Structure 1
Amino acid sequence: MNTRTYIRLFAAAAAVITCLMLRTAAGCCAALGVLAAFLLVEGIVTDMRRKRRLTELTDYITRVQDDLSLAAPECSDEGLTGILQSEIYKVVALLREQYSAEKDRKEYMSDMLSDISHQIKTPLTAIQLMTELLEQSDLDAEKRMQYAEKIDSQVGRITWLIRNLLTLSQLEAGVLKMKPTAVGLSELMGDIRTSLEIMAEVRGVTLEFEMPDAEIDADRHWLREALMNIIKNCIEHTDEGGYVRVNGTQNNICTELTIEDNGSGISEKDLPHIFERFYKADNSSPQSVGIGLALAKNIINAHSGIIAVSSTKGKGTVFTVKLYTVF
């Protein structure tokens, strides 16, 4: 029962007690008359208060349509009006959250499109320039072939960018599903090592792998893509004479992979952002797009795994990947 009900019961009890004390018909009539008048006045006041509160709620609903940031008045009413008021505020709070999320999503899409435009604009400009050079009638065959190869290289870069962006978007939307099979860990790492040996050799970086003879349930294609991106990142940021070490362990809970280098390291400012799409640290190469680590993180997450990183500027970086047994 609310406060208003208690007041009415108290007034009725007071009238009954008064009647019992007076023990006269006139006294009882007077007491009942006072009770009736009190209840009438109380009803009128309650009705007026309810109408005023409903008017305030209607006004609030009208104003909040134009400004979702409008603060809700204090909820103090009881009964059905209080319930209505509470539900209205809940709906407004929900709409406010949805509006904020939609606003953030639009800002994110705007930034993403801006970044994509910038990344595609650079190779397109190079293609346009070399196409104009190819139109020169006095251009010798050797130069013509060089320009054609550069155009092909830039087209490949655009194709790679679009393919990876599409993959990343599908992973973030939950559209791209992993297809787990039994994957030999040593065999997978051997394949990755073979693919990256030339890159490491050119940079003068030593690749070291130590893997248990074990299997994991994973989508081989996409897990290979993720690990390749991480190891390539380590090679790119390690100077000549350095190393990249990849170690693995397995227990009943998870398979843990560590990728360690003694390269340039990552600054404290950049470290929280390296898995963000298009983020480029201060020591990134000019050719870096900033997709590789973001793609790797999403692929590992899609395997119900986690990836963490620790780094010391000037000393090196360690990536830790945990792939849990239940996938």
Structure 2
Amino acid sequence: MKIAIIGPGAMGLFFAARLQESGQEVWLLDYRPERTAHLKQHALRLITLDGEDRDYYLNVVYEAHAIGPCDLTLVTVKAHQTEAAAAQLPLLMADGGVALTLQNGIGNLETMAAVVGPERLLAGVTTLGVTLLEIGRIRHAGQGPVLIGRPPGALVTDETLRLIVEVFRGAGLDCRETADIMAAVWDKLLINVGINSVTALTRLRNGQLLIAPEAWRVASAAVQEAWQTALASGVKPSPEPLSRMRQVCQATANNRSSMLQDVLAKRQTEIDAINGQIVRLGITLQVATPINALLTDLIKALELGLVSGATNVISE
């Protein structure tokens, strides 16, 4: 299968390495020419869960036309980069290919559908833990399944969906098809609502939330608000979201959340697509979300500090 991956961050690099190792033709599409040049000249180093170093030479390009039409395009960029990524999809999907978003938050599917329509889109979620240590060097920090399914409006056939699931399984990943992918998307969102913003503010690793009662109380309150918002919107996520958040913290104990990685790297975060979405939906559905509103405001203020140069509070 010919696969394009838009976004060589931690997760994009991880999937590229594993899928290429399994024999798939994989292409990485980057928007930063200097990073593209680095990844073309140097091997990607993946530190496995066992602490083993593995090197991969990947196909990395700066422009979509250098890849051409693909069978599958994975979108792994940050939520605020989805619009730019979606603009590349018409060429990559030109011969009837399928696009799969494996991003955090909600709203990404709608952005992609505005460009290519919903018919050939798939949604996926994963709780895999991967940390970007530096350009071209990542660490696999925690196991987790990859769930893939058809969102509303998708017309991807059962055969195609099952083939994609088997491709991920062939790469040694715990990949499963799910009939209600939007419930799974919300399951992941509920976990991110609790873990990401709190770890980004406190600099705690995921597992440390479990031994920091003050941080856990805030994360739990944010999840409870998001749970009520999901129910009010008609979504039926899995029960006991706090238990599931605890399990993810345990499974990815040594991992820095993606939002904490962004803060430490002085990058824009995905707060708008995670806690910010809960606040916006809460307003529409008349569900109180004061903890999520506060966390969103604090992360926004932290981002402003990064831009203005007040970075000493997050130095390593």
Query: TM-score with structure 1 length normalisation?
Result: 0.25
Q: Which structure shows the higher helix fraction?
A: 1
